[in-house]
Amino acid sequence: MSVQPVPDTASGGSLPPRALGDRVVSHLTELGVMAPISLIRVADLIRGFANYLAASGVESSGDITEAHASAFVRSLTRTKTEPSLATMHLRRTALRIFFREAKALGVLSVDPTTTIPLPPRSYRELRPLLDREIDRCRSFAEQMEGETRYAIAWALAEATARVAELGAIRAKDLDLVHGHVWIGGSMNTDARWSELTDWGVNQLQRVVTSRSKPPPDRSLLMPGTTSRGSVHEFVASTLRQAGLAKTSGVRPNSIPAWRGATELANGASIDEVAVLLGMRSLDRAATFIGFDWRAEL
């Protein structure tokens, strides 16, 4: 792979990595085209890349090389472990956004991430939960004394919301009269209206009619300084309480995968399931729910 520096354009001039990272994040914020939770994640990765460049001795944007981008994508996580394939894909996606916006701002002229090869994403290690497992998890989510967010997170996950989408869902995104919720999407999923399960409607109805009901514009799961990691924990903890956390193939995405598999079993087409899940690829949607559509031909 070439390690030639990424050229600056004449109009924007060169910037220190951290200054460029902040400028790109500010630009993305001003554009307002990304879901809030996606913007938080992308901004974190862009600033992480800028810090990585600074720690590597890169003093200006003109010194960024393809090797820097590739090394960041494959670098160890904050816990000093090897990054998963999903993490590497997420990092590369964030860098593509970074270089695209830096080009739009007139600071850089090329995107070195186009030469960073990664294996395709795979959901083959994921399996949908079974109906009896869903019932067990619902029971544990309801039993969290004094804390409704476990049940809220589970209800929204049953409506196909992924962890990256959960934190952005607000009280005003709920239409409990019709049993629907607006899910704002993420870097990998489309925004969509999704139908809540009957259990989910009951849980959310309890929340919005309680004395401490959330304001319309506030996140149901991330008030104040609650982090994305905490949102993940609301789902992961329920899986642990139900004794499923160490079960092969079971992850937070197993809940929306269950919903997709259930809809397919009830007569929905794989096209309809893909729309429900917010997925643009029929192949990815089929793999996500464990459906071998080729075997059905």
**Quick check: is 233 in a domain?**
yes
**pLDDT band at residue 65 under the 50/70/90 scheme:** very high
Q: Which residue, of 89, 115, 141, is where some domain finishes?
A: 115
Assign residue 231 the CATH number of its domain: 1.10.443.10
- For the ranges 67-71, 171-175, 208-212, the lowest mean pLDDT is seen at 208-212
Residues 200, 246: one domain? yes
Residues 83, 182: one domain? no
pTM score of the predicted model: 0.66
> Among all chains, which residue has been given the structure tokens 């049953």?
158
HSE, side-chain direction, 13 A CA sphere, residue 269? 4
Q: What is the pLDDT of residues 66-92, one digit of tens each?
A: 999 999 999 998 888 888 777 888 899
Return the higher-pLDDT residue of 211 and 259.
Answer: 259
Residues 94, 157: one domain? no
**Quick check: is 280 in a domain?**
yes
**Quick check: is 9 in a domain?**
no
Q: Give yes or no for residue 122 having a pLDDT over 80.
A: no
Residues 100, 140: one domain? no
Residues 150, 264: one domain? yes
Angle among Cα 81, 76, 251 to the nearest 5 degrees reads 50
Structural domain harbouring 208: 131-296
**Quick check: is 103 in a domain?**
yes
- For the ranges 167-176, 177-186, 223-232, 269-278, the lowest mean pLDDT is seen at 223-232
Whole-number pLDDT of residue 162: 95
When divided into structural domains, the chain yields a total of 2
Q: Which residue, of 81, 115, 149, is where some domain finishes?
A: 115
**Quick check: is 2 in a domain?**
no
**Quick check: is 179 in a domain?**
yes
Residues 51, 155: one domain? no
